[in-house]
Amino acid sequence: MSIEPAPRSESRTLFLQFVALPVLIVVPILLVLLAFSHLAYEGRSCAEDLADLRRGSAATPNARWQAAYSVAQSIRPGGPCRGEIRAADLAAAYDGAGDDDPRVRRFLVLAIGLLGDRAAGPALLDALESRDPETRIYAIEALGALGDPATRERLEALLADPADPGLRKAAAYALGNAGPDAAPALRRALEDPVSDVRWNAALALARLGDSSGAGVVAELLDRAAIGRARTADGGPVSSAQIEAAMIEGLKAAVVLRSRDLLPRVREIAENDPSMRVRSAALEAAAALEAS
């Protein structure tokens, strides 16, 4: 459960505009940058965007990163370029992007993850070595979206990174798509000193059908306990983040068929101050009763 008080850069806040992931699981989205919805690039063709990416430094100063953003917008499910732009095109554009404007590679990595084509895996593995921390986070998220077991060892190494809990929590979520062989590393992460790393690990284990993190999932059904936790950046957990955390905990309880949590789920359904959380708890209680 990625719980942060604020993103480290404006570009990072765009991730959930593109990727349909549970709220606050990977990258917190606290602000919507409405200015981007009015970009001049909106309405351009796929071919024009790719052409600007291929021109590299010969393009106008903002053309490349705006083209990369436009591509990411247009290849979302149902987007106009979804069937026209290939992962190989994006990988080639990434290789030629250079490091002069990190926004270009950030959006290209994000777009590769949206396509879900494992053929682009090498470009994402290269992005893990980027000097730009935002590109590295995007690459972890994209690798998680690909769900390629071949990248498991690299993600496990990031899960054990002693210096950056932000990388650890992103890797924990991504490993939930890497297959059952990722479970041992995720079980170790249940002991992480940072709450949202533990939460991500427990939710990832639940997605793998592993109940090892059931005790940590139970923490996500305790509003007061979540509120006392500190984020990976050391900040407080906001009320919106508490709500999102509880909803994801309820979903995980259902996936794990944790009937022992049913009394707590019913209590949440009756008494939680958030209507959204109460609604999620009602659905979870019905599912657990039927399991």
Give the pLDDT confidence of 89-125 residue by residue, as tens digits. 888 888 888 777 888 888 899 888 888 888 888 888 8
Residue 29 shares a structural domain with residue 103: yes
Lowest mean pLDDT among 42-51, 186-195, 222-231: 42-51
- Residue 47 belongs to a domain: yes
* Summary mean pLDDT of the chain: 81
Residue 140 shares a structural domain with residue 194: no
- Residue 178 belongs to a domain: no
At 130, is the secondary structure helix, strand, or coil?
coil
DSSP 77: T
Give the count of beta carbons closer than 10 Å to the beta carbon of residue 185.
Answer: 21
Domain boundary among 91, 114, 146: 146
Pseudo-torsion of CA 31, 37, 38, 39, nearest 10°? 100
d(CA 162, CA 277): 34
Side-chain-facing half-sphere of 220: CA atoms under 13 Å: 33
- Residue 148 CA: distances (Å) to CA of 33, 142, 205, 266: 31, 10, 16, 37
**Structural domains of the chain, count:** 2
pLDDT at 220: 95
Amino acid residing at 259: R
φ, ψ dihedrals at 84, nearest 5°: -100, -30
Q: How confident is the model at residue 85 (pLDDT cuts 50, 70, 90)?
A: confident
Q: Would the pTM of this model clear 0.85, i.e. be above it?
A: no
Domain boundary among 111, 131, 146: 146
Counting every residue written for the chain, the total comes to 291
CB 108 within 8 A of CB 116: no
pLDDT at 185: 96
- Residue 48 belongs to a domain: yes
Return the higher-pLDDT residue of 152 and 235. 152
Which tokens go with 41? 């690039």
Amino acid residing at 66: Q
Q: Over 50: is that where the pLDDT of 9 sits?
A: no
Which residues form the domain of 218?
Answer: 190-291
- Residue 153 belongs to a domain: no
d(CA 135, CA 109): 7
